[in-house]
Structure 1
Amino acid sequence: MMRFLAALAALGPFAAPGPAAVATPGAAELVRNATAAQDLTGWSAAAAAGPEAVKRATGLTGGPAAATGVRLSRGGASGAWAYALVALRTPAAFTVGQTYRMSVWLRDTAGPGRTFGLLLASGEYRHRPTETAEYTAPADARWHLVTRTFVATAAGAADTALYLSLPTAGPFDVQVTGASVQSVSAPAPARVRTGPSRVLGFSGPAIDPKVWGYDLGGGGWGNGERQTYTSSPANARLDGAGHLAITAVRTAQGFTSARLTTQGKVTVAAGSYVEAAITAPVGASVWPAFWLLGADIDTVGWPACGELDAFEGTGSRPTLVQSAAHMALAGSPRTDRQYGWGEAGGTTDVGLPLDARSHVFGVYFDAQTVRFYVDRRPTMSLWATDALASGRTWPFGGPQFLLLNVAVAGGVDNSATSFPRTMTVGPISIWAGGVPF
């Protein structure tokens, strides 16, 4: 929410992952010929324009333990797609709900400037056990580990492979080795059997000033937003039935709305799950949100503080729920390296417009994992291991405060959208120590 459709920031170098996920005891390596130890069995490449060269590489040094691997290269051709496939032993054996990790060591011998991706798919980009992918643009010609943990959502098929997305334009020359797909035991939220440790309710005659404050003013808020935030009851009030109502209003001077925050009043500790039932407004440019920011934002700034968008709606697409996690690029605390709406689980279609009924939006976070939920069903899962390996920071081991707002997005024609538009929020419940389901 701090940035609207933020452009991808420059990608940085990688660090080896920490101990946040370990291979499941007895788990088999699913990649058939991970390092091309003897030959190129199971390795192939194709492109819309080419040709691409696939050669066995020996004497590899300076990075992974393996001395053998594969060299993938192409001259100056360009086309719509290019990829390499690494065959799996049992490609259809993915278990829905099981956690896996895919990884590969990669060295772009030409240095920075090209983007590579790691995912699971057939050559036709089908039969995917997960929509999760990791894209990277190495900053130098050293070896880098590209890795991503995921929860399988489908079983795969006979032609599912470890899929390396290759640059589509111009030449490239890359060495890869250590291709791996394994079942892993990854950190997950604990389950708690008690009631919430705290409930932020909306009863009484007025919004509780011991819990909620207001962000006030206009200025676009870093996103080109069109509204001015106020503390007027016309924009934020209690409805008398246990709900908070935040309303965006069109006036002769523009738009007014409200952004409520618990900054300096209430924080959510790491290791907690927080949720709220929300009926969200729709309509072109209407942008409701329920989100969290790191409590140290005034010290470290954004995005270094971390941001968790439990819910964002884009009113012109009224059935879509979007979630995101924002964090900084390592060594560059002002550069956003988000896991955004395009990630697996980052966008959920709930079928009916968001103003048709309420939905429960939640997020769990701690020093190792973040998991988003819609109606208590997990959507996007993230791990610190992957973030650190991809050059991100992981700021979610500290407390966060809550925000609720309805923005009016700039650059969108909302002449056909009738105002006022109201977001209705039920009590916000917080469980310390895990999720209650």
Structure 2
Amino acid sequence: MLLGVAWVALAATGLSVVLASPLPDRHPDEAVLDGRVTAGLIGWVVAAQADAVTMERVTGVDGPRRVDAAVDLRRAGNSGAWAFLLAGLAQPEEFFEIGRSYRMQLYVRDLHASGRPVTLRITDGAADRGPTDESVTAGFTDRSWHLLTRTFVATRDAFPDTALYVALPPDGPLHWQATLASVRRLPSP
């Protein structure tokens, strides 16, 4: 319940940023508001139960596919039950159609090379409702960029607060970067 209230407060704050800032052009089949992190941190939200995770836009990174901007996430340490990063979606309740295929993806790198896993899925900030239960989890012991990707079929309706959700390591120090977030409709067969 508390997490859901926190997400509503964070989403309301994020929405005012979205409305006050210009959005980059998106492909019509793309839902993520600013997956390339070109216009700042529009639609991006981070939260944690324990020590706060700081989030900033960094440029000049040697990103995948020649991208030079990323979301940079850091935390000093301490234990908590949860930590997450959200990439906002444009009108998810209209974007997702039951029975249609989609692909979610995100490039990430663990600058501590800790091997601790992150999980990518489509859900709300409370991680309890989304158009699918499909996810992908991986941990990395190097500092390279890695693609998290999963193709899925929407089996339920989405809601206005549905987002691309990254479950971060809930405890200990972290330094992750993320870019090229995407949720795309796939062509119908």
TM-score interval w.r.t. the shorter chain? 0.7 to 0.9
Deviation string 1:131-150 (CA, Å, 9 cap, x unpaired) is: 00100001311001110000
Q: CA RMSD in A?
A: 1.5
Task: Give secondary structure in 2 for the equivalent of 1:64.
Answer: helix
Query: Within 1, Cα distance between the matches of 2:68 and 2:113?
Result: 21
Q: Helix, strand or coil for the counterpart of 1:44?
A: strand
- Cα deviation for residue 87 of structure 1 reads 0.3
TM-score (normalizing by structure 2): 0.81
State the SS of the aligned residue for 1:71. Answer: strand
2:158 is matched with: 156
Whole-Å separation in 2 of the counterparts to 1:77 and 1:57: 25
* Corresponding residue of 1:128: 130
Point out the structure with the larger helix share: 2
- Note if 1:64 corresponds to 2:65: yes
Q: State the distance in 1 between where 2:156 and 2:132 align.
A: 7
Work out the CA distance in 2 between the residues paired with 1:112 and 1:84. Answer: 18
Gaps of 5+ in 2: 1-26
Partner amino acid, structure 1, of 2:109: R
Cα deviation 1:399-430 (Å, max 9, x = unaligned): xxxxxxxxxxxxxxxxxxxxxxxxxxxxxxxx
Q: Which residue of 2 aligns with 1:49?
A: 50
User: 1:142 is matched with which residue?
Assistant: 144
Q: What is the one-letter code of the residue matched to 2:88?
A: A
User: Which residue number in structure 1 is paired with residue 14 of structure 2?
Assistant: none
1:286-305 aligned within 5 A: none
> SS of 1:100's equivalent?
strand
* Moved beyond 4 Å, runs of 4+: none
Deviation at 1:67, TM superposition (A): 0.9
1:209: which partner in 2? none
Whole-angstrom CA distance in 1 between matches of 2:180 and 2:117: 19
Larger Rg: 1
Q: Distance in 2 between matches of 1:57 and 1:148?
A: 26
Q: Distance in 1 between matches of 2:45 and 2:28?
A: 25
**Alpha-carbon distance, 1:35 to partner:** 1.8
Q: Is the 8 A contact 2:63 2:69 kept in 1?
A: no
Distance in 1, Cα, partners of 2:78 & 2:67: 31
The amino acid across from 1:46 in the alignment is A
8 Å contact from structure 2 (residues 92, 162) kept in 1: yes
CA-to-aligned-CA distance 1:122-166 (integer Å, 9 cap, x gap): 111133100001000013110011100001001200000000110
For structure 1, which runs of at least 5 residues remain unmatched after alignment?
1-25, 189-437
Q: Within 2, Cα distance between the matches of 1:105 and 1:179?
A: 7
Higher relative contact order (CA 8 A, sep 6+): 2
Residue identity matched to 2:154: A
Specify the alignment match of 1:90 in structure 2: 91
- TM-score w.r.t. the length of structure 1 is 0.36
Give a deviation string over 1:282-306, Cα, whole Å, max 9, x none: xxxxxxxxxxxxxxxxxxxxxxxxx
**Residues 283-362 of structure 1 correspond to what in structure 2 (within 5 A)?**
none
Q: Give the SS at the match of 2:87.
A: strand
Does structure 2 retain, via aligned residues, the 8 Å contact 1:48–1:80? yes
Distance, in Å, in 2 between the alignment partners of 1:120 and 1:132 is 8
Partner Cα distance (1:49, 1:181) in 2? 29
Output the amino acid matched with 1:77: N
| Contact residue 35 and residue 70 of structure 1 kept, 8 A | no
Provide the residue aligned with 2:19 in structure 1. Answer: none
Q: Which position in structure 1 is the counterpart of 2:179?
A: 177
Q: Distance in 2 between matches of 1:106 and 1:185?
A: 26
Letter in 2 for 1:91: P
- The one-letter code matched in structure 2 to 1:176 is A
Match of 1:119 among 121, 129, 149: 121
- Contact 1:112–1:141, Cα closer than 8 Å, also in 2: no
Distance, in Å, in 2 between the alignment partners of 1:162 and 1:87 is: 7
Read off the aligned partner of 2:170 and give its amino acid letter. T
